[in-house]
């Protein structure tokens, strides 16, 4: 059973230690860097929604959802829409179905429109990240032809 839980003073160090494999590091920033970005975004008018991903009581991953401005160059559609800016499952917990179950929970959560109304959720990923691309497509995300910072963008109507 996957749950999305708040990052706390108690679990933050465990989150910072959670890593993807060496080969996957080009696909996602470290959790430490992402949480730092959340702080900067939140203190500059942005709406980051970061969560630790748990399988039962074990922390297995991290997700950073953002509403509106992501703090980076972004497509026009970012305004008033949700972005899954980061998603990772720790190397030792991958290929056990947690990523798929987490995506379902993440989309359920986004569909509660926690930071404001939206029509779309979008994701950008490296073109060669086939595992991520297939996972997102299986939830209905479709590439819209836009390339941002060399990354294709896939969009889901909420």
Q: Which residues bind ligand COA (CB under 6 A)?
A: 20, 24, 27-28, 87-89, 94-100, 125, 129, 131-132, 135
CB of 101 to ligand COA, least distance (A): 7
Closest CA to 27 of 88, 109, 81: 88
Output 10 or 128, the one with its CB closest to ligand COA: 128
CB of 75 to ligand COA, least distance (A): 15
Residue 112, both tokens: 């509660």
Whose Cβ is closer to ligand COA: residue 30's or residue 47's? 30
Q: At what angle do helices 98-110 and 130-138 cross, to 10 degrees?
A: 50
Kindly report the CA angle at 12 between 10 and 16, in degrees rounded to 5?
150
Least spacing, CB of residue 20 vs ligand COA, in Å: 4
Q: By C-beta, is 1 or 9 nearer to ligand COA?
A: 1
Distance CA 129, CA 1 (A): 26
> How many whole angstroms separate alpha carbon 59 and alpha carbon 3?
9
Nearest distance from residue 17's CB to ligand COA, in Å?
15
Interior angle at CA 140, CA 75 and CA 150, nearest 5: 35
Question: Which is closer to ligand COA, CB of 115 or CB of 126?
Answer: 126
Task: Report the chain's terminal Cα–Cα distance, integer Å.
Answer: 24
| Nearest distance in Å: CB 8, ligand COA | 22
Nearer to ligand COA, 101 or 115 (CB): 101
Closest residue to ligand COA in the complex (CB): 99
């Amino acid at each position: 059973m996957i749950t999305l839980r708040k990052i706390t003073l108690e679990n933050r160090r465990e989150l910072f230690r959670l890593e993807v494999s060496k080969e996957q590091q080009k696909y996602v920033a470290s959790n430490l860097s992402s949480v730092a970005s959340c702080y900067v975004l939140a203190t500059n008018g942005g709406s980051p929604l970061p969560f630790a991903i748990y399988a039962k009581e074990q922390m297995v991953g991290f997700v950073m959802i953002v509403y509106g401005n992501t703090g980076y160059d972004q497509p026009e559609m970012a305004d008033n829409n949700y972005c899954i800016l980061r998603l990772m499952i720790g190397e030792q917990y991958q290929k056990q179905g947690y990523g798929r179950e987490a995506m379902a929970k993440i989309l359920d959560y986004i569909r509660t429109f926690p930071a404001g109304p939206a029509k779309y959720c979008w994701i950008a990923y490296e073109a060669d990240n086939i595992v991520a691309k297939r996972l997102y497509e299986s939830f209905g995300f479709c590439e819209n032809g836009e390339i941002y910072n060399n990354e294709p963008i896939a969009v889901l109507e909420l």
